[in-house]
Amino acid sequence: MKKVVKFGGSSLASAEQFKKVGNIIHADESRVYVVPSAPGKRFDEDTKVTDMLLHAYESASEGKDIKEEMKAIKARYDEIITGLELKDFSLDQDFEEITKLLIENPQKDFAASRGEFLNGKIMAAYLGIDFIDSAEVIYFNEEGNLNDYKTYKRLGERLSQCERAVIPGFYGMGKDGNIKTFSRGGSDVTGSIVARASKADVYENWTDVSGFLVADPRIVPDPKPIKYITYRELRELSYMGASVLHEDAIFPVRSCGIPINIKNTNAPEDAGTWIVESTCKKQDYVVTGIAGKKDFCTIFISKAMMNAEIGFGRKVLQAFEENNISFEHMPSGIDTMTIVVHADEFMDKEQSVVSAIHRLAEPDSVEIESGLALIAVVGRGMKSASGTAGKLFTALANKGINIKMIDQGSSELNIIIGVENKDFETAIEAIYKTFITK
Ligand code: ADP
Ligand code: ASP
Ligand code: MG
CA of 274 to the centre of ligand 1 (A): 15
Enter the pTM of the model: 0.88
3-state secondary structure of 331: coil
Report the CATH fold assignment for 3-208.
Carbamate kinase (3.40.1160)
**Residue of minimum CA distance from atom 8 in ligand 2:** 185
Alpha carbon separation from 329 to 254, 297, 303 (Å, rounded): 25, 11, 19
Verify whether ligand 1 is closer than 6 Å to residue 242 (CB atom).
yes
How far apart CA 296 and CA 294 sit, in angstroms, is 6
| pLDDT score, position 409 | 75
CA of 368 to the centre of ligand 3 (A): 34
Index of the ligand 1 atom closest to the CA of residue 187: 4
What angle do the packed helices 67-83 and 15-26 form, to 10 degrees?
A: 50
Q: Which residue ranges does the chain devote to CATH 3.30.2130.10?
A: 289-435
Strand stretches in 95-151, DSSP E: 130-131
Index of the ligand 1 atom closest to the CA of residue 237: 23
Amino acid (1-letter code) at residue 415: I
The ligand that comes nearest to the alpha carbon of residue 171 is 2
Index of the ligand 1 atom closest to the CA of residue 225: 24
How far apart CA 189 and CA 182 sit, in angstroms, is 8
CA of 384 to the centre of ligand 3 (A): 33
Alpha carbon separation from 199 to 30, 156, 194, 195, 411 (Å, rounded): 13, 9, 8, 6, 30
Report the CATH fold assignment for 289-435.
VC0802-like (3.30.2130)
Q: Output the ligand 2 site: residues, CB below 6 A.
A: 9, 37-38, 48, 50, 115, 169-170, 184-188
Verify whether ligand 1 is closer than 6 Å to residue 248 (CB atom).
no
Do 179 and 110 form a contact (C-beta atoms < 8 A)? yes
| pLDDT score, position 15 | 98
Q: Which of 431, 299, 437 is nearest to 363 (CA)?
A: 299
**Residue of minimum CA distance from atom 2 in ligand 2:** 185
**Residue of minimum CA distance from atom 26 in ligand 1:** 244
Ligand 2 pocket test: which of 187, 248, 262 has the largest number of ligand atoms within 8 Å of its C-beta? 187
Verify whether ligand 1 is closer than 6 Å to residue 266 (CB atom).
no
Index of the ligand 2 atom closest to the CA of residue 37: 7
Index of the ligand 1 atom closest to the CA of residue 206: 3
Do 110 and 173 form a contact (C-beta atoms < 8 A)? no
What is the chain's pLDDT, residue by residue, as a tens digit (438 residues)? Answer: 999 999 999 999 999 999 999 999 999 999 999 999 999 999 999 999 999 999 999 999 999 999 999 999 999 999 999 999 999 999 999 999 999 999 999 999 999 999 999 999 999 999 999 999 999 999 999 999 999 999 999 999 999 999 999 999 999 999 999 999 999 999 999 999 999 999 999 999 999 999 999 999 999 999 999 999 999 999 889 888 888 899 899 999 998 999 999 999 999 999 999 999 988 888 889 999 999 999 999 999 999 998 889 999 999 999 999 999 999 989 888 899 999 999 999 999 999 999 999 999 999 999 999 999 999 999 988 887 788 889 999 999 999 999 998 888 777 789 999 999 999 999 999 999 999 987
Index of the ligand 1 atom closest to the CA of residue 11: 3
Q: Phi and psi dihedrals of 67, rounded to 5?
A: -60, -45
CA of 195 to the centre of ligand 3 (A): 17
* Cα three-residue angle 204-207-210, rounded to 5 degrees: 90
Verify whether ligand 1 is closer than 6 Å to residue 204 (CB atom).
no
How far apart CA 116 and CA 101 sit, in angstroms, is 17
3-state secondary structure of 387: coil
Q: Which of 227, 209, 206 is nearest to 218 (CA)?
A: 209
Index of the ligand 2 atom closest to the CA of residue 186: 8
Ligand 2 pocket test: which of 35, 37, 192, 247 has the largest number of ligand atoms within 8 Å of its C-beta? 37
**Residue of minimum CA distance from atom 7 in ligand 1:** 244
Ligand 1 pocket test: which of 48, 207, 212 has the largest number of ligand atoms within 8 Å of its C-beta? 207
Q: Which residue ranges does the chain devote to CATH 3.40.1160.10?
A: 3-208
CA of 244 to the centre of ligand 3 (A): 6
Verify whether ligand 1 is closer than 6 Å to residue 299 (CB atom).
no
CA of 8 to the centre of ligand 1 (A): 10
